[in-house]
């Protein structure tokens, strides 16, 4: 097991390194100047470039960057655009995105479970079809389209919630973005739950339990759900990362100060903020890789066959 | 299962803690910003949104009244020495929000810091603008900031020494670069964190920051009860919302979320047809000039054809500016035939705007197809070419107005000037600015917003030095006039300087260095229960100190 974990860990670190390298090179060669402020003269821009070492060859810059990263600093640690330190602001934005992400995961999982269970218990009937349609819609409709829909009906037509995100009214502001983001979670969890449940319901031990006289809620809760739900962890974990990083458009249109909006602004703002784009890229990739690593290890614990397969491979 | 549910509820409770809900709306104004506030640190800020929010929170020595006249703010009064080179400001009793007194030293500290740290606006202290003594050398880090020509003989007296008299110096004092910073407070902060949160920003002005993050979409301010002029402020809360889509802004205005929304030209027509909304529509003039910049650098892609003055004149005279503003911009912007925007820089003696005579240069800037074709024929024979294939770049990520303007110019020029082809090159702003700064373009649709209330804020753009990152034009006579007007013998002579600036403008337009297009206006929707917002065409675009919500 230790060997398995060590192997996965090394793979993850290598992957992260490769990602940072590709990101670094891509950002340096893409068009756009990090200091395109009309008020700066060519002389000042040159001076600034020298200060930041942007005149050196890309590989040297990369080595410098990695050494700074090892010391816990994203480049020189400040935004090229406004000079503010990156870390505290990114943490604050992560917190904002995370709060809404957690809300939507909670809601999405609960609703997804209910839909999945209802569908599984009524498989082949009308309710099953309805639940399937709902979960397919959830996967197909992009969350921001749903967000615009909610914004129009529940803020413009019926003013229930704030039209833009208002940090001083967190709860009521969070409802619409959390709902829109949960759409994907609902459908993923619902489909997964339904399939797992159907499989368990058809299994021999459930049939045995039924034969022994168990029925209804007791049977579902003690025998079906318990066994069907263990693997669901494996779906929810990547969803958390998806939500953190995938809320870009929603954060932008609803005005939430989250990491998604931070990323969009860093790329499409007035100048390409090398430091921010890289820092956010590294954080997003680390999150993904971290969760994937965790999952791999979890799989290994839940299902020893995976470990064996890895060994053979 | 129960445990999981309990956990979930606990988590939910934890998330919501500290998120008090308030619903009072009286005395609260919600206004829209079109783009993010870059920074609340005046040494970092470059955009009107930042300047506006900084000015809500910090007062400078002077301020603009509702009519745009310069009146005292933190300075109760000031004296100018006879040669116009020494300004002595007497400060009034004012406090920072933490209770500290505002002292002359706060200005000394802030001005020195600005010269030392600002990368983008340091020049405003230097010899092209404010002419503060030794500023250029401090900016270039040749001498210590202590040698900057500012001093505080006592806590209430702030003295500025200039290298040359600057006639508009008091009006410069309204600009955030010249605002004070509390030195003790600043030194207590971690490096680079000034102005990055409500805790790291200290106001002495009408409002205090209550909710802010760099790049935030939502900024909240509350009335500062320590403000020296607090009786003038009736708003309890001022909230900014960054909205990049004007459709979204219009909807938010209709449902009452925004009290002030900026709409785009193509929405204006619809709004005018709406009996209710049209009452809230206001056209706000600005001092922003939109113009075509011609790159004269012979190294550019198309053989430097634009180095030929007749080709430039041909293009400038082939554009129907009235049709541009009436049919494509449609937000109340005005066609402009001068290098200085129309409602800007009023003469201190006559009160007349510098560019009030729009026909002054009609011989070289007008819409006259015959004249344009004559210019084109001359250009063709001079360059021995019959066809000109020019590339026109513009940034397409800040609204669709510029896109429509670009298409209109292309069709007008191609129709009126046979043989000239314009290739439109829309691109993101970052790339667009990169192309401008690296001189790789033929024609650019660009604009310039004035930094201070004097035509020089435009004229310095086209000196040999200022041209470095744009048109690549150099004219010794022009440079001489500008030098004379800024630091030379004309600096102290108001009328002679004013006339000399017209001479400079004539050289500029005779050479068609730029083709002026129109002076921007902004179409604002303002709720009928809101009054007292002051609009200015320079430095601080909107001031809310006297704003009221009924």
Contact criterion met (CB < 8 Å) for A270 and B251: no
Contacts of B40 (CB under 8 A, 6+ apart): B50, B53, B54, B57, B195, B196, B201, B209, B212
CA distance B242 to chain A (A): 7
Of residues B192, B241, B251, nearest to A83 (C-beta): B192
DSSP B270-285: HHHTSTTGGGGEEEEE
CB contact under 8 A, B213 and A257: yes
Chain B residue with Cα closest to A154: B255
H/E stretch holding B498? helix B494-510
Spatial contact of B372 and B417, defined as CB atoms under 8 Å apart: yes
Which helix (H) or strand (E) element contains residue B499?
Answer: helix B494-510
pLDDT value of position B146: 93
Pairing of strands B530-531, B548-549: antiparallel
Chain B residues near residue A262 by CB distance under 8 angstroms: 215
Other beta carbons within 10 angstroms of residue A309's beta carbon come to 10
Mean pLDDT within B49-76? 92
Q: How far apart are the CA of B470 and the nearest CA of chain A, in angstroms?
A: 10
Burial A58-90 (b: 16+ CB within 10 A, else e): eeebbeebeeeeeeebbbbbbbbbbbbbbebbb
Chain A residues close to B8, C-beta within 8 Å: 106, 110
CA angle B108, B110, B115 (to 5 degrees): 100
What pLDDT is stored for residue B532 in this prediction?
Answer: 92
Closest chain B C-alpha to A66 CA, distance in angstroms: 22
Length of chain B (residues): 550
- C-beta atoms of B38 and A221 within 8 A: no
Shortest distance between the Cα of A312 and any Cα of chain B, in A, equals: 38
Angle, helices A86-121/A259-268, rounded to nearest 10 degrees: 120
Q: What is the pLDDT of residues B196-224, one digit of tens each?
A: 999 999 999 999 999 998 888 899 999 99
Distances (CA, A) of A178 to A98, A131, A260, B122, B255: 11, 21, 14, 44, 22
Contact B120 A253 (CB under 8 A): no
For the stretch B255-288, pLDDT in tens is 889 999 999 888 998 899 998 899 999 999 999 9
Backbone angles phi and psi of B385, in degrees to 5:
-135, 150
Check if the beta carbon of residue B481 is closer than 8 Å to that of residue B527.
Answer: no
Whether residue A78 and residue B192 make contact (CB cut-off 8 A), yes or no, is: yes
In whole numbers, what is the pLDDT of chain B averaged over residues? 88
Q: How far is CA A205 from CA A200, A214, A217, B140, in A?
A: 8, 12, 16, 82
Name the residue in chain B with its Cα closest to that of A109.
B8
Tell me the mean pLDDT in the region B484-499.
Answer: 87
Cβ contact B59:B205 at 8 Å: yes
Which pLDDT score is estimated for B10? 53
Q: Do A155 and B255 touch (CB under 8 A)?
A: yes
B472: number of Cβ within 10 Å = 21
Closest CA to A38 of B461, B244, B351, B502: B461
Tokens encoding B7: 């956990």
CB–CB contact A171 B16 (8 Å): yes
Q: Nearest C-alpha of chain B: how many angstroms from A51?
A: 12
Q: Any residues with CB less than 8 A from the CB of A245 and at least 6 apart, and which?
A: A259, A260, A284, A287, A288
Give me the residues paired with residue B219 across strands: B240
**Helix/strand/coil for B158:** strand
Cβ distance of A257 and B254 shorter than 8 Å: no
With beta carbons under 8 A apart, name residues in chain A contacting B212.
none
ipTM above 0.85, yes or no: no
Answer whether B119 sits within 8 Å of A169, measured CB to CB.
Answer: no
pLDDT at site A207: 84
With cut-offs at 50, 70 and 90, classify the pLDDT of residue B97: very high
Each residue of B286-338: pLDDT tens digit?
999 999 999 887 665 555 788 889 999 999 999 999 999 999 998 889 999 99
| CB–CB contact A257 B12 (8 Å) | no
Residues A278 and B223: their CA atoms lie apart, in Å, by 38
Lowest-pLDDT range, B110-119, B364-373, B434-443? Answer: B434-443
Tell me the pLDDT tens digit for each residue of B52-62: 999 999 999 99
If phi over 0 gives left and psi between -120 and 50 gives alpha, with beta otherwise, what is residue A213?
Answer: left
| Closest Cβ–Cβ partner in B44, B191, B248 for A82 | B44
Residues of chain B positioned with their CB less than 8 A from the CB of A39: 46, 120-121, 123
Helices (H), B64-124: 104-117
* Residue scoring higher pLDDT (B188 or B434): B188
Half-sphere exposure for B330 (CA within 13 Å, toward CB): 15
* Whether the model pTM is above 0.80: yes
By C-alpha distance, the chain A residue nearest B397 is A268
**Contact between chains at A32 and B434 (C-beta distance less than 8 A):** yes
Q: Give the integer Cα–Cα distance in Å for B226 and A85.
A: 30
Distance from CA of A157 to the nearest CA of B (A): 8
| Residues of chain B found within 8 Å of residue A264, distances taken between Cβ atoms | none
CA distance B512 to A214: 92
Least CB-CB distance to A255: which of B12, B46, B218?
Answer: B218
- Per CB-CB distance under 8 Å, the chain A contacts of B216 are 257
Residue pair B39/B50 in contact by the 8 Å Cβ criterion:
yes
DSSP state for residue B162 in the 8-state scheme: B
* Token duo for residue A10: 């090394």
**Does an H or E element contain B426, and which?**
strand B420-427
So what's the pLDDT on residue B30? 94
Which one of B217, B291, B447, B462 makes the best mutation probe of the A interface by having the most chain A beta carbons within 10 Å?
A: B217
pLDDT at residue B299, as a whole number: 66
Task: Please check whether residue B172 is in contact with residue B166, taking contact to mean a CB–CB distance below 8 angstroms.
Answer: yes
Q: Does residue B95 have a pLDDT over 80?
A: yes
CA B126 to centroid of chain Cα atoms: 18
**What does the alpha-carbon distance between residue A22 and residue A34 come to, in Å, rounded to a whole number?**
18
Chain A residues with CB under 8 Å of B123 CB are 39, 41
Q: Which of B39, B218, B243 sits opposite A84 (nearest CB)?
A: B39
CA–CA min distance B214, chain A (Å): 7
Q: Specify whether the CB–CB gap between B435 and B465 falls below 8 A.
A: no
Nearest residue to B284 via CA among B545, B540, B524, B32: B524
- Altogether, the residues listed in chain A come to a count of 313
Q: How far is CA B315 from CA A33, B312, B409, B414, B446, in A?
A: 30, 5, 9, 9, 16
Go through A226-254 and write b for each residue having 16 or more CB atoms within 10 A of its CB, e for each that does not.
ebbbeebeebbbebbbbbbbbbbbbbbbb
Nearest CA-CA distance, residue A142 and chain B, Å: 19
Mean pLDDT of B543-550: 92
pLDDT, tens digit, for every residue of B389-430?
899 999 887 778 889 999 999 999 999 999 999 999 998 877
Q: How confident is the model at residue B5 (pLDDT cuts 50, 70, 90)?
A: low
C-beta of residue B139 within 8 angstroms of C-beta of residue B115: yes
Q: Would the CB atoms of B120 and A265 count as touching at under 8 Å?
A: no
Are A102 and B11 in contact (CB < 8 Å)? yes
Min Cα separation A164/chain B (Å)? 8
Helices (H), B118-220: 135-139, 169-172, 183-187
Q: Do B217 and A256 touch (CB under 8 A)?
A: yes
CA distance B336 to B321: 7
Q: Residue A313 has what pLDDT?
A: 43
Contacts of B241 in chain A (CB under 8 A): 164, 255
Which of A88, A110, A270 is nearest residue B430 as measured by Cβ atoms?
A: A270
Min Cα separation B353/chain A (Å): 25
Cβ–Cβ < 8 Å for B122, B114: yes
Please name the member of A33, A48, A253 whose beta carbon is closest to the beta carbon of B434.
A33
Distance between CA atoms of residues A289 and B209, nearest Å = 38
The per-residue pLDDT string of chain A (313 residues; one tens digit each, 9 = 90 and over) reads: 788 888 889 999 999 999 999 999 988 887 666 766 666 666 777 777 887 888 888 888 899 889 888 888 888 888 877 888 888 889 999 888 888 888 888 899 899 989 988 898 888 889 889 988 888 888 888 888 888 899 999 988 888 899 999 888 888 888 999 999 898 888 888 988 888 888 888 888 888 888 888 777 777 777 777 777 777 777 777 777 777 666 788 888 888 888 888 888 888 766 668 888 899 999 988 988 888 888 878 777 766 655 555 555 4
CA distance B38 to chain A (A): 6
Instruction: Give B88's strand partners.
Output: B79, B159
Read off the pLDDT band of B467 (50, 70, 90).
low
How far is residue B498's CA from residue B357's CA, in Å, rounded to a whole number? Answer: 14
- Could you give the 3-state DSSP secondary structure of residue B335? strand
Q: Which residue out of B10, B48, B49, B119 would a mutagenesis test of the A interface target, given it has the greatest number of A Cβ atoms within 10 Å?
A: B119
* Best residue in A163, A218, A272 for a mutation probing chain B (most B CBs within 10 Å): A163
> What is residue B519's predicted lDDT score, i.e. its pLDDT?
94
Q: How far is CA B325 from CA B397, B406, B523, in A?
A: 20, 12, 13
The DSSP element (H or E) to which B422 belongs, if any, is strand B420-427
Residue (of B224, B109, B238, B258) closest to B547 by Cα position: B238
How is residue A265 written in tokens?
């602004």
CB contact under 8 A, A271 and B433: yes
For chain A, counts of helices (H) and of strands (E) = 15, 0
Residues of chain A found within 8 Å of residue B254, distances taken between Cβ atoms = 156
* Whole-number Å distance between alpha carbons of A61 and B254: 51
The average pLDDT across B155-172 equals 92
**A-B Cβ pairs (cutoff 8 Å, strict):** 162
On chain B, the residues whose CB falls within 8 A of the CB of A268 are: 397, 428, 430
Would you say residue B365 has pLDDT above 90?
Answer: yes
Give the C-alpha distances (Å, rounded to integers) separating A72 from A13, A67, B221, B254, B506. 16, 9, 34, 48, 57
Partner-chain residue, chosen from B36, B119, B191, that has the shortest CB–CB distance to A40: B119
């Amino acid at each position: 097991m230790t060997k398995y974990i060590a192997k996965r860990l090394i793979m993850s670190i290598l992957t992260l390194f490769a990602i940072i390298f590709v990101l670094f090179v891509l950002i340096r060669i893409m068009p756009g100047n990090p200091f395109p402020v009309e008020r700066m003269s060519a002389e000042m821009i040159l001076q600034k470039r020298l200060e930041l070492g942007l005149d050196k060859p890309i590989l040297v810059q990369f080595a410098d960057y990695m050494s700074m990263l090892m010391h816990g600093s994203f480049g020189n640690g400040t935004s090229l655009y406004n000079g503010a330190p990156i870390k505290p602001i990114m943490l604050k934005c992560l917190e904002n995105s995370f709060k809404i992400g957690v809300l939507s995961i909670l809601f999405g999982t609960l609703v997804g479970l209910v839909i999945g269970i209802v569908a599984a218990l009524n498989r082949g009937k009308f309710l099953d079809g309805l639940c399937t349609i709902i979960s397919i819609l959830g996967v197909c409709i992009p969350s921001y389209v749903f967000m615009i829909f909610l914004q129009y009906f529940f803020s413009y037509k019926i003013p229930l919630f704030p039209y833009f995100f208002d940090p001083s009214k967190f709860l009521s502001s969070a409802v619409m973005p959390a709902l829109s983001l949960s759409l994907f979670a609902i459908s993923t969890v619902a489909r997964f739950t339904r399939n797992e449940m159907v499989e368990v319901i058809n299994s021999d031990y459930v049939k045995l339990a039924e034969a022994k006289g168990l029925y209804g809620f007791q049977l579902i809760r003690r025998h079906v759900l318990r066994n069907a739900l263990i693997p669901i962890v494996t779906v929810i974990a990547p969803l958390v990362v998806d939500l953190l990083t995938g809320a870009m458009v929603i954060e932008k249109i609803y005005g939430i100060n989250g990491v998604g909006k931070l990323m969009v602004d860093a790329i499409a703002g007035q100048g390409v903020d090398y430091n921010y784009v890289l820092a956010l890229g590294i954080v997003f990739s680390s999150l993904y890789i971290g969760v994937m690593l965790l999952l791999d290890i979890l799989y290994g614990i839940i299902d020893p066959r995976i470990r064996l397969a890895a060994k053979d491979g | 299962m129960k445990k999981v549910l309990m956990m979930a509820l606990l988590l939910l409770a934890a998330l919501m803690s500290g998120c008090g809900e308030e619903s009072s709306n009286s005395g609260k104004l919600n206004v829209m910003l079109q783009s993010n506030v870059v920074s609340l640190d005046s040494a970092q800020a470059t955009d009107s949104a930042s300047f506006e929010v900084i000015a809500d929170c910090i007062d400078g020595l002077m301020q603009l009244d509702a009519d745009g006249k310069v009146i005292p703010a933190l300075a109760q009064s000031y004296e100018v020495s006879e040669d116009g080179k020494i300004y002595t400001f007497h400060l009034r009793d004012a406090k920072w929000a933490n209770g500290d007194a505002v002292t002359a030293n706060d200005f000394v500290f802030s001005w020195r810091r600005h010269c030392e740290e600002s990368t983008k606006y340091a020049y405003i202290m230097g010899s092209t603008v404010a002419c503060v003594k030794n500023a250029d050398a401090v900016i270039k880090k040749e001498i210590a900031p202590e040698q900057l020509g500012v001093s505080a003989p006592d806590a209430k007296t702030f003295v500025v020494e200039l290298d040359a008299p600057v006639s508009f110096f008091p009006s410069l004092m309204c600009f955030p670069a010249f605002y004070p910073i509390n030195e003790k407070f600043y030194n207590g902060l971690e490096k680079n964190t000034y102005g990055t949160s409500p805790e790291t920003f200290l106001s002495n002005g009408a409002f205090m920051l209550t909710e802010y993050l760099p790049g935030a979409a939502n900024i909240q301010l509350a009335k500062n009860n320590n403000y020296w002029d607090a009786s003038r402020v009736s708003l309890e809360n001022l909230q900014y919302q960054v909205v990049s889509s004007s459709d979204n802004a219009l909807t938010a205005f209709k449902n009452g979320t925004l009290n002030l929304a900026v709409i785009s030209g193509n929405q204006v027509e619809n709004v005018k047809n709406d009996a209710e909304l049209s009452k809230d529509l206001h056209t706000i003039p600005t001092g922003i000039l939109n113009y075509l910049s011609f790159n004269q650098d012979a190294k550019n892609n198309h053989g430097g054809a634009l180095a030929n003055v007749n080709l430039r004149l041909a293009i400038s005279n082939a554009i129907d500016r009235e049709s541009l503003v009436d049919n494509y911009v449609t937000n109340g912007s005005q066609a402009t035939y001068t290098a200085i925007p129309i409602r800007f820089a009023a003469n201190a003696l006559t009160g007349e705007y510098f560019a009030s005579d729009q026909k002054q240069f009609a011989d070289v800037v007008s819409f006259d197809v015959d004249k344009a074709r004559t210019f084109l024929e001359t250009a063709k024979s001079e360059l021995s070419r019959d066809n000109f294939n020019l590339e026109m770049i513009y940034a397409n990520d800040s609204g669709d107005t510029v896109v429509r303007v670009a298409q209109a110019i292309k069709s007008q020029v191609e129709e009126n000037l046979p043989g000239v082809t314009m290739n439109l090159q829309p691109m993101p702003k970052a790339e667009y600015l990169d192309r401008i700064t690296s001189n790789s373009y033929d024609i650019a649709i660009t604009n310039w917003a004035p930094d201070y209330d004097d035509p020089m804020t435009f004229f310095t753009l086209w000196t040999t030095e200022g041209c470095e990152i744009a048109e690549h034009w150099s004219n010794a006579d022009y440079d001489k006039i500008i030098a004379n007007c800024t630091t030379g013998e004309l600096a102290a002579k108001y009328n002679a300087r004013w006339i000399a600036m017209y001479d400079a403008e004539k050289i500029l337009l005779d050479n068609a260095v730029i083709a002026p297009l129109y002076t921007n206006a902004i179409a604002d929707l303002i709720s009928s229960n809101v009054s007292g917002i002051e609009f200015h065409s320079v430095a601080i675009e909107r001031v809310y100190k006297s704003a009221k919500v009924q």
